[in-house]
Structure 1
Amino acid sequence: MAEDKNDNEEEQTEEKAGGKKKKLILSGIIGIVLIVTVVLVLWLFGGSSSSDEPATSGSGSPAPSSSSRPEVGNALYVGMPRAFVFIVPGDSRERTVQIKAQLMVRGEENEELAKKHIPLIEGTLHEVFSSSTADRLKTAEGKGQLRELALTEVRSALEEVTGKPVVEQVLFTSLVMQ
C-alpha cells in the first residue's frame, strides 16, 4: 500500500510539472503573438511622419510643390513599351546602356494623354538618354540629373502638343551599363 501511495505521489508530481511546462509554453506563445501584433501595428500605423520639413526628392532637392504638379489625383504609372538601348562614350571605350522607364502621371486624363503620345515621349527620352556619358551614369547624382533632364524635356514636348505638362516624374525601373 505504501508503494501505491508513492506511485500516486510521483504521478501527481509529474502531472504538476507537466502542467507547469504547458503553462510556460502557452504563456511564451501568447507573449510572441503580442510582440508580433505590436510590431505589425507600429509598422502599419507608425510609418507616416508628420514633420513640418518640406519633402525632398531622391536628389536632395525639395520635391515639386503641389502647384507645379500637372494635375491633382491618383498617381498612375505609364510604362514605356520598350527599353531604351543606346551607346554612350566612356573613359576608355564606348558603353552600351539599357534603361527601362515609367512615367508617373496624376489622374486618368493625363494617363490617357501620356499613352496617346508614347512615340513623342520615347523619341524625347531616347534623345536625352543618348546625350549622356558613361561617367555621368556611374554615379547616383548623374542618374538623378539625367532623370531631371528627361522630366524637363518630356514635359516641354508634351506641353507643346497638349497644352499641359502631363508627366510628374520619370522613373528608371532598370539601368544596365556594359
Structure 2
Amino acid sequence: MADDKDAEQTEEKTGGKKKKIILFGIIGVVLIITVVLVLWLFGGSSTQQQTASGESDSTAPSSSPRPEVGNALYVGMPRPFVFIVPGDSRERTVQIKAQLMVRGEQNEELAKKHIPLIEGTLHEVFSSSTADKLKRAEGKGQLRELALAEVRTALEDVTGNPVVEQVLFTSLVMQ
C-alpha cells in the first residue's frame, strides 16, 4: 500500500511537471507570434511612411490647388440633402449624405464654421443634376467633382484658401 501511494505521488509530480512544461511552451509560442506580428505590422508602416514622404517631396505639385498638408479629417454634413430632380418619365426624389475630407485641424475648424455656406452650395449643385446622370457611375463622379469645385470656390472667396480636398458621398438614394 505504501508502494502504491509513492507510485501515485511520483506520477502526479511528473504529470504536473509535464503540464507546466507544455503550458510554458504554449505561452512562449504565443509570445513569439505576438512579437513577430507587432513588428511586422508596425515596422512595415514606418518604412511605407518614409517612402511616401520621400516620394511626395520629389514629385511636382499637381495642377489643382490643394489645401495644406496635414492629417486627413472628415467633416460630416449634419443633415442629408433631399431634393427632386427631373427624370426621363417622372421626377425623382434623391437623398445624398455627404462628408468633406480636409487636411489639418485648421481646415477642419474652417469647414465646421462655414457649414451653412457649404450646405447651400452643395444643395444648389445637387439639385441641378438629373436622374439620368445620377443613375450612372460617371454621372455621380462628375457630380462629386462639380460639387468639390463649387465648394472650393465658395470657401476660397470667404476664407482665402480652398479648405476642402474631397467631397465624398456616404449614401445616395434615388426613388
- Same-fold call, TM cutoff 0.5: yes
The structure carrying a bigger helix percent of its residues is: 2
Counterpart in the other structure of 1:17: 15
1:155 equivalent among 143, 152, 156 = 152
Trace 1:92-131 onto structure 2 (pairs within 5 A).
94-131=91-128
| Per-residue CA distance 1:131-152 (angstroms, 9 max, x = gap) | 3445554565544433222111
* Distance (Å, rounded) in 2 between the aligned partners of 1:26 and 1:140: 57
Q: Is the 8 A contact 2:65 2:162 kept in 1?
A: no
How many aligned positions are there? 168
* Distance (Å, rounded) in 2 between the aligned partners of 1:148 and 1:72: 20
* Distance (Å, rounded) in 1 between the aligned partners of 2:5 and 2:133: 84
- Aligned partner of 2:35: which letter? T
Q: Is the 8 A contact 2:97 2:170 kept in 1?
A: yes
* Distance (Å, rounded) in 2 between the aligned partners of 1:72 and 1:173: 24
- Aligned partner of 2:16: which letter? G
Counterpart in the other structure of 2:30: 32
Counterpart in the other structure of 2:162: 165
Structure 1 residues 136 and 5, CA gap change in structure 2 (3 angstroms): farther
* Distance (Å, rounded) in 1 between the aligned partners of 2:9 and 2:69: 74
| Per-residue CA distance 1:145-177 (angstroms, 9 max, x = gap) | 332221111112223344432222223333344
Counterpart in the other structure of 2:77: 80
- Aligned partner of 1:105: which letter? V
* Distance (Å, rounded) in 2 between the aligned partners of 1:171 and 1:84: 13
1:47 equivalent among 22, 39, 45 = 45
Indicate the SS of the match to 2:68: coil
Indicate the SS of the match to 1:46: helix
Instruction: Give ranges in structure 2 of 5+ residues lacking alignment.
Output: none
Aligned-pair distance for 1:84? 0.8
Indicate the SS of the match to 2:45: coil
* Distance (Å, rounded) in 2 between the aligned partners of 1:32 and 1:156: 55
